[in-house]
Amino acid sequence: MNLDDILQTFFAEADELLNAMESALLRMEDGDADLETINEIFRAAHTIKGSAGLFGLDEIVAFTHIVENVLDRARDGKIKVESNLLSILLPCRDHINRLVANAREHKKGDAECNLEGRTLLAQLNPWMGSDEDQNETSPKIQKTTSDALVQLDKSRIIDTDAWHISVRFGQELLRNGMDPLSILRFLSTLGEVKHITTIADSFPARGEFDPESLYLGFEITLVSDASQQDIEDAFMFVADDSDITIIPPRSNIESFIRLIESLPENSQRLGDILVNSYAITHQELETALAAQKEQAKSQGAVAMLGNILVDQEVITDVIVDAALEKQKKIVERKTAATENLYIRVDAARLDKLINLIGELVINRQRVDLLANKMGNPLLLEAITSMGNFTEQIRDAALTLRMVAIGETFQKFKRVVRDTAKNLNKEIELKISGAETELDRSMVEKLNDPLMHIVRNAMDHGIESLALRRERNKPDAGTIQLTARHEAGNIVIGISDDGGGLDVERIRQKAIANNVIDANEALSRHELFQLIFHPGLSTAEQVTNISGRGVGMDVVKRNIESLQGAIEIESELGVGTRFSIRLPLTLAIIDGFHVSTGDIDFIVPQNTILECVDLNSLAHVQGQSCVNLRGEQVPYIRLRDIFALKTEVDVREKIVVVQFGEKRAGIVVDSLHGEIQTVVKPMGPIFQALKGIGGSSLLGTGAVSLILDVQQLIGFAINREHVRNNLHSQKVQEFNNESAS
């Protein structure tokens, strides 16, 4: 690997870290005051600085170093991260991003960029530590050590190499045949159980005591090399109805205070138990608990206990630092461990693998076919089991390309925050289904359409504050991004609680732009679909947020190029919801092999509802429409639309397909069965061809065409529609004639 490759890795890593940093900063802005969040931001800055230093990217190092210093002070509790600091840290993060981007393009920052950096650093100034307060700690230590009131036995700290486990079992445990003693005994096989304190504080009154119910809890000190998982596993069978807290070795005092607060028993007594095994003394604990309560009362926030202890001068900085240092090491080790769980792979290599697996799938079909011809039962059996594995390999390979959509959604947090500020609106972004996965290549292509819709929703959807109050809506508008899987598809929803679409205005505009005829009768749904028509923007004012030339028609085209569909529901004054439906992947599909004449076609399996003999269904008079259990389903013949020469006397079959809410039938000559297909995109010459989405090789080596079900359904429905219109026109003409 040459240096350039490593540099690329740095850029990729920096991107990820900056994203993590951004989302952590946004979380803090939403009121997340967790120490771990500050740590996360700090670590991101720290890692970027460190790696940038390796490559001699001095501009990045110089700027990030100062940001890191401020974050370090925040982490130590010397300064508080409040909204005024956050509003500088976010642009600082953007500036680092800009510096990284500059480095990627091998260019030095221009004057404007330098100015931006200097301005930001100047703004950070109030939070930067002066030299005096860095020296401030030393007199404190002296003072504390000379203070006879608190004598800390330092040797006891070393002994906190132990796990602390706190258990409150469910009352029914004994009756269910479990004996906590056996769990405690099992723990001793994981390491050395230093101490178990039995908590017998929850006994009920005499009359209510049931000897078969369990009222005991245990505080356990365990010295062990076992992993958290191993320890958790010991409680596997009782975890459901018990409260179990496991505190890893060298955790800070804060975790213990949190534990004490969460447990039902007397804090004092629990504190005593902890005092038995840990560094804190009774007095320290008591002072800290009291101070924490006091502070929580006055500030509504729980301060880091370590700081309180320092402030109270009951514990030396040295000890807190030592503890923090140890903690930091653990945290770093942990992150290192999680990083090892991922391997960065070149996307091109992955694509190659998927292609090869595609070929494997095709070849397997050929082998299948030959084996069937030979009819050797042993061979057939072997091939069936091989087929099983090929399928599993295919599925596993496809999941390699799958990524959670959450990362894409996360990006919108910042977009919404900034845009809302620009627009002077209060907008909240809610995200659900972030863990839903889809093909990586789709995620990338989804970005622009989503961005466009979200921007539209913020700009035109969410009303101004005054109007919202008038409509009795909450001050803050809500935009919701959702994702879920549905029958081989992913459905992404973007909804807002804004003004909704004005059907009448869309209609007027469409008439004005000659998109529709003035007396054309369109359903509500069809009118909504008009906003995807090129050159139809309903916003009367084109702002710089939306309406920058990329229209909704481009959004629709983008989605359709991914074999997807977009739908709108909207109610005036209530809100609008866009639903985007996409296939999970475009690479390999489960298909259904059909043919007309000697041409083979593949229908994507997930669109098929059923296959029926065409003649067994009742036809609607004069139309290409069948009556399927009371529902009228329009159909098309592949023979007709692709102008194929075939014999007419075959017993035709109809494959009923569905896409979104729409159904249609595809009439073919014969059905051959399920088949796994590797989708090969059509060559550029055929790209404009309607009704065909791609091609694929069959096991026989023959080419088969993959039907574009969405287009075919649209085609069938349109044709029936036109025919109906013609029909009603004729009826009308006839009526007119007879009237005259």
Partner 1 sequence: MELKRKTVKGVTTLSLSGELTIYNVAQCYALLFENDEKILDHVALDLSAVSELDTAGVQLLLFTKKTFSDVHKTFFVTKSNELVDRIFAMLSVAFIFAKDSKV
Q: For tokens 């009359």, name the residue.
A: 207
Q: For tokens 């109050």, name the residue.
A: 469
Q: Which helix (H) or strand (E) holds 261?
A: helix 253-262
Shortest approach of partner 1 to residue 190 CB, angstroms? 15
Shortest approach of partner 1 to residue 250 CB, angstroms? 24
Residue 23 or 277 having the CB closest to partner 1 = 277
CA distance 528 to 542: 20
Task: State which of residues 30, 179, 230, 470 lies at the interface with partner 1 (CB under 8 A).
Answer: 179
Lookup: tokens for 41: 């931001």
Query: How many alpha carbons fall within 13 Å on the CB side of residue 315?
Result: 25
Residue 208 or 225 having the CB closest to partner 1 = 208
Segment lying near partner 1 (by CB under 8 A), choices 193-201, 400-408, 556-564, 698-706: 193-201
CA distances in angstroms from 716 to 694, 706, 709, listed in the order given: 20, 17, 10
Residue 118 or 175 having the CB closest to partner 1 = 175
Query: How many alpha carbons fall within 13 Å on the CB side of residue 3?
Result: 4
Comparing CA positions, the residue from 697, 676, 674, 704 lying closest to residue 611 is 674
Q: Which amino acid is located at 391 in the chain?
A: E
Shortest approach of partner 1 to residue 218 CB, angstroms? 8
Residue 215 or 642 having the CB closest to partner 1 = 215
Task: State which of residues 25, 184, 530, 679 lies at the interface with partner 1 (CB under 8 A).
Answer: 184
CA distance 364 to 382: 12
Shortest approach of partner 1 to residue 361 CB, angstroms? 57
Shortest approach of partner 1 to residue 200 CB, angstroms? 5
Q: Which amino acid is located at 413 in the chain?
A: K
Binding-site string for partner 1 from residue 196 to residue 235, where x marks contact by CB under 8 A and - marks none: xxx-x--x--x--x-xx-xxx-x-----------------
Shortest approach of partner 1 to residue 103 CB, angstroms? 60
Shortest approach of partner 1 to residue 261 CB, angstroms? 23
Chain positions 424 to 443 lying near partner 1, rule: CB under 8 A, are: none
User: What are residue 611's DSSP bridge partners?
Assistant: 655
266: contact with partner 1 by CB under 8 A: no
Q: For tokens 């008009």, name the residue.
A: 530
Q: Which amino acid is located at 666 in the chain?
A: I
Segment lying near partner 1 (by CB under 8 A), choices 148-156, 190-198, 557-565, 611-619: 190-198
Residue 217 or 694 having the CB closest to partner 1 = 217
How large is the angle between the packed helices 83-104 and 58-75, nearest 10 degrees?
A: 160
Segment lying near partner 1 (by CB under 8 A), choices 46-54, 173-181, 322-330, 378-386: 173-181
Number of residues that bind partner 1 (CB under 8 A): 21
CA distances in angstroms from 3 to 54, 55, 342, listed in the order given: 11, 9, 21
Shortest approach of partner 1 to residue 257 CB, angstroms? 23
195: contact with partner 1 by CB under 8 A: yes
Q: How many residues does the chain have?
A: 740
Shortest approach of partner 1 to residue 277 CB, angstroms? 11
CA distances in angstroms from 390 to 24, 357, 384, 591, 698, listed in the order given: 42, 8, 10, 16, 16
Residue 77 or 217 having the CB closest to partner 1 = 217
Task: State which of residues 148, 149, 181, 487 lies at the interface with partner 1 (CB under 8 A).
Answer: 181
CA distance 428 to 497: 11
C-alpha 5, offset from chain centre? 28
Task: State which of residues 38, 120, 162, 193 lies at the interface with partner 1 (CB under 8 A).
Answer: 193
Shortest approach of partner 1 to residue 383 CB, angstroms? 57
Residue 238 or 379 having the CB closest to partner 1 = 238
CB 593 within 8 A of CB 602: yes
Segment lying near partner 1 (by CB under 8 A), choices 159-167, 174-182, 383-391, 473-481: 174-182
Provide the b/e sequence for 703-726 (b: ≥16 CB within 10 Å): ebbbbbbbbbbbbbbebbeeeeee
Residue 206 or 349 having the CB closest to partner 1 = 206
Q: Which contacts (CB < 8 Å, 24+ apart) does range 85-93 have?
A: 85/127, 86/25, 86/28, 86/29, 88/120, 88/123, 88/124, 89/25, 89/41, 90/22, 90/25, 90/26, 90/29, 90/414, 91/120, 92/63, 92/67, 92/120, 92/124, 93/18, 93/21, 93/22, 93/25
Chain positions 141 to 170 lying near partner 1, rule: CB under 8 A, are: none
Lookup: tokens for 475: 């001050």
Residue 28 or 214 having the CB closest to partner 1 = 214
Residue 197 or 456 having the CB closest to partner 1 = 197
Shortest approach of partner 1 to residue 211 CB, angstroms? 4
Task: List the 631-637 sheet strands across, edge first.
Answer: 608-613, 653-659, 662-668, 631-637, 625-628, 618-619
Segment lying near partner 1 (by CB under 8 A), choices 191-199, 280-288, 473-481, 621-629: 191-199
**Backbone torsions φ then ψ of 164, nearest 5 degrees:** -115, 125
Shortest approach of partner 1 to residue 280 CB, angstroms? 20
Residue 181 or 466 having the CB closest to partner 1 = 181
244: contact with partner 1 by CB under 8 A: no
Task: State which of residues 77, 109, 117, 180 lies at the interface with partner 1 (CB under 8 A).
Answer: 180
Residues that bind partner 1 (CB under 8 A): 174-175, 179-181, 184, 193, 195-198, 200, 203, 206, 209, 211-212, 214-216, 218
